[in-house]
Structure 1
Amino acid sequence: MADEFNLPVSALPRELLLLIRLLRMDDDAGSSAFSSDDFRDVDWALFLRLGSHHRVYPLLYLHLKRLNSVHVPARVMNSLQAAYNKNTFHMLHLTAEMERVSRLLEEHRIRSLVLKGPVLAEALYGSLSHRTSKDLDILIPENKLEEAERVLIASGYRQDHEVPRVLNDLKMKTHHVSYTHPEKEVQIEIHWRLNPSTVAEPAFDELWNRRRSSAISGFPVYFLGSEDLFYYLTSHGARHGWFRLRWLADMDRLIRSPLHAASLLKLMQQHEGIHIGGQAVLLASQLFMTPIPEPLRPLTSGGHSRRLARRALFIIKDVTNLQSSKDVNTHYKGYIFAMMSNRQRWRYMAERLYPSSLDTALLPLPKPLHFLYFPLRPFLWFWRRMKHQANS
């Protein structure tokens, strides 16, 4: 299977390849699968940094603990154990806040779906401690955004970045707003869409009708159905270039779980996601040795999926944030454009031409003259770019 799609996996750094082998669910599960040569001359500082960057240190700790190899330094195990314990407490804290916020939204008749976080850890890994999560992502109906904001602010949350909403462009140009509770140190992203507006996606009511209920809390907390979760995780991971292996570890578990192939293929086709689903399946197959169920093979049949998988590998092997590496950032911009369908590219260009509330901050105009922001948009965008470069 490793050579079936001929992706350049062997070009990845040695420490990253070791990390990936440790993450595999079924393959390499026993200590006999590793020899002393696998651990010889390993840059353990880089290994730990990769585990942190890819947010997979809980699984690394559990698998290395099971291997109990004398070739893994004690300091590495101690570092991973400390990170594992810290993450467990954080996930428990996040779960309690998820239940509280879900209850608050329900009391105000706001339907909500938790997209990732604790519910995903429980559904895919069977344990909160096996997956990391920085924040809570909660999807609500678009027409409930303002009401949900009032509920969060009343309960102690503060918006992370105040953005002017003069032209009502917030919902068109973004798909979520983030809030942080200063005392509880919990961040919540309120989504009214799963993805940016250039990407076609199911309506909230469809997702709600196919929802599942999580059993990790006393109060009902809802999350996406299996096929909708596949669609969301592939579109989210692809949009970020899969630069965290945690997302592919999620896909490995999801592909191995029961999926209704006919419904999934129809969903991906309907929302222009066949090539994105294929990319995810290819990467999981090549990196995690994930077996591809025969009914999902149509996802991997196109050349577009394979080209996108190759592009993503370039990003995966880089340990830095996308924005801090010039080469990766340049590659990423080209990758994002290559990922779009023709229709998505037209949507992207139309969105860019639509005025932004940042334009109103740069050139305040009275409301009767707001129509001028449309013809002035290219000039204001260029003006902001010049100011940003001058400040840099």
Structure 2
Amino acid sequence: MGLPPRRAADGESMADTSFPSSWSPAFRLIVALLRGESAGDLAASVDRESFGQALRRHRVALALPVAGRTPLSLALRDTLALRQRQMTMAAMERTAQLGVVVNDLTGAMIGVCALKGLAFAGLFGDLLGREASDLDLLVGPADFTRALDRLGALGYRRDGAGAIDHAVTLRHPDFAASLELHRRLASPDGLFPVDRFDPWARLSAVALPRGPVATLDREAAMVYAAFHGTKHNWHRLFWLVDIAKGMAREDVDWPAVLTLARRLGVERQVVMAVLLAERVLGAALPPGLEVKPALVALGGRLADDLVPHLDDLPSDRGAELAGRMGFWPTLARLFTLYPRWRARIGLLGFFLGASDKDHAFLPLPPALAWAYPLVRVLRLLGQPLGWTRTKPTR
């Protein structure tokens, strides 16, 4: 459990870290614990309820030190210990669930690759050291229908609200974790150029109690994790902990990471993710960045712009970030992150997709549902002027 101990830089006191004023006391405390710093007066200013809420939201309990070894009050230690017990049991159940599913699919001669979550944890550390809300599996497009049939025979059923272009969400009545079955790593909208990357040529293996499971190799996993976290605006801290754990490994070929990221058009996202982990979690920067000073400067600015908002985004929708940074600065930021025009066009489609807040802002009859992207633009542009009927939630 926990990140590798952080070393203080020359002239830096580990207790002198200053946090953005926009961060809640509970979030500051969690970051201090992840950095291996003294909790100091932070722990005294955090109540049990807000600490528990922050742990649930950011899903980092298993990345923190064991509760009994933390310098916290009895109430906060009990809260952390309970969460760690619950999430350890959940990780064990989901590991077993993953093994059953993978063995069934491979037994039917269906190639399968586990993505993110437990697979990433096993690749970079401990299968039981990361919370995972669901299971993500990739199969080849030609095997997708057959895989759905096999999973259906195991008791999995489609979640109608969870069907997206590149994946289908499935649920099993006996398990809390849903299963996302992917036919591609991402939607073919240019945000992640699936036509330039063959995941089946970049596989590694993670040991499970029921046998090994294929997953992306470490370099590809780092690139994909940076893309995924950036797409979701890093609004949950456990994605950034993933990056920090990868940065702490000596068996990651970082020049190869950057080369792959550049070929896929996500080099800026990878560099921003690395610098974000360095700024927030104190992770040591990997080798290879020193030869790219302009890229590091750009990534640093992108990371610094996001840091104050990491504890203030209720979801990964662009609207929440735009409401805090401003619509035009957010759009400029996104265009900087995604330099390819195909990605920018796809990004606009995602950014303008109507949310529940847009529907609440101006209810429209079904015949006018096509107008919600315009409603969204008006609402986002109007936020700095106070044109809103719903308050942001924390």
TM-score range, shorter chain: 0.7 to 0.9
User: What SS does the corresponding residue of 1:318 show, helix, strand or coil?
Assistant: coil
- Aligned positions of 1:157-306 closer than 5 A: 157-161=156-160, 174-197=165-188, 198-201=190-193, 206-257=198-249, 258-298=251-291, 301-302=294-295, 303-306=297-300
How much has 1:291 moved relative to structure 2?
A: 0.9
1:145·1:192 contact (CA, 8 Å) conserved in 2? yes
Q: Which residue of 1 aligns with 2:309?
A: 315
Pairing of 1:106-185 with structure 2 (within 5 A): 106-128=106-128, 130-161=129-160, 174-185=165-176
Check the 8 A contact 2:255/2:287 in 1, yes or no. Answer: no
Asked whether 1:66 is paired with 2:55, we answer: no
Q: How many Å separate the matches in 1 of 2:143 and 2:308?
A: 40
* Distance (whole Å) between structure 1 residues aligned to residue 19 and residue 340 of structure 2: 29
Q: 1:300 to 1:199 in 2, by over 3 A?
A: farther
Q: CA deviation at 1:307?
A: 3.4
1:41 correspondence with 2:15: no
Question: 1:180-214 deviations in whole A, cap 9, x for unaligned?
Answer: 01233331001122223222446698322321111
Deviates more, 1:230-239 or 1:76-85: 76-85
Q: Contact between 2:48 and 2:79, CA under 8 Å: does it hold in 1? A: no
Q: 1:97 is matched with which residue?
A: 97
Match of 1:10 among 13, 20, 29: 20
Specify which structure has the higher proportion of helix.
1
Aligned residue for 1:382?
A: 371
- Specify the code of the residue in structure 1 equivalent to 2:346: Y
Structure 1 residues 230-277: Cα deviation after superposition (integer angstroms, max 9, x where no partner): 111000000000111111111111011122123212101100111101
Whether the 8 Å CA contact 1:180–1:187 is kept in 2: the answer is yes
* AA aligned opposite 1:181: H
Shift of 1:282: 0.7
Amino acid of the structure 1 residue aligned with 2:310: I
**Larger radius of gyration, structure 1 or 2?**
1
Q: Is the 8 A contact 1:300 1:306 kept in 2?
A: no
> How far apart are the structure 2 equivalents of 1:17 and 1:384?
36
Task: Quote how far apart the aligned CAs of 1:278 are.
Answer: 0.9
2: distance between equivalents of 1:220 and 1:252?
25
Question: Which amino acid is the alignment partner of residue 382 of structure 1?
Answer: A
Q: How many residues align?
A: 340
TM (norm. structure 1) is 0.76
5+ long unaligned stretches in structure 2: 1-8, 351-367, 380-389
Would the aligned equivalents of 1:61 and 1:77 in 2 still touch at CA under 8 Å?
no
Asked whether the 8 Å contact 1:211–1:224 carries over to 2, the reply is yes
TM-score by length of 2: 0.75
Q: Evaluate the alpha carbon distance shift between residue 340 and residue 124 of structure 1 in structure 2; reply closer, same or farther with a 3 A threshold.
A: same
Gaps of 5+ in 1: 164-169, 353-378
Query: Is the 1:110–1:148 Cα contact (8 Å) retained in structure 2?
Result: yes
* Separation of aligned partners in 1, 2:82 and 2:290: 41
Is the 1:160–1:180 contact (alpha carbons within 8 Å) kept by the matching residues of 2? yes
Q: Contact 2:139/2:183 (CA < 8 Å) preserved in 1?
A: yes
Using the TM superposition, give the Cα deviation of residue 131 of structure 1 relative to its aligned residue in structure 2, in angstroms.
Answer: 1.1
CA contact (8 A) 2:29 2:39 kept: no
Bigger relative contact order (CA 8 A; separation at least 6): 1
Alpha-carbon distance in structure 1 between the residues aligned to 2:228 and 2:235: 11
3-state SS, counterpart of residue 198 of structure 2: helix
CA 191–174 in structure 1, closer or farther in 2 if over 3 Å, else same = same
Contact 1:121 1:127 in 2 (8 A): yes
For the 8 Å contact 2:43–2:73, the answer to whether it is kept is no
Aligned to 2:339: 341
* SS across alignment from 1:40: helix
Alpha-carbon distance in structure 2 between the residues aligned to 1:147 and 1:126: 32
Match of 1:370 in 2: none
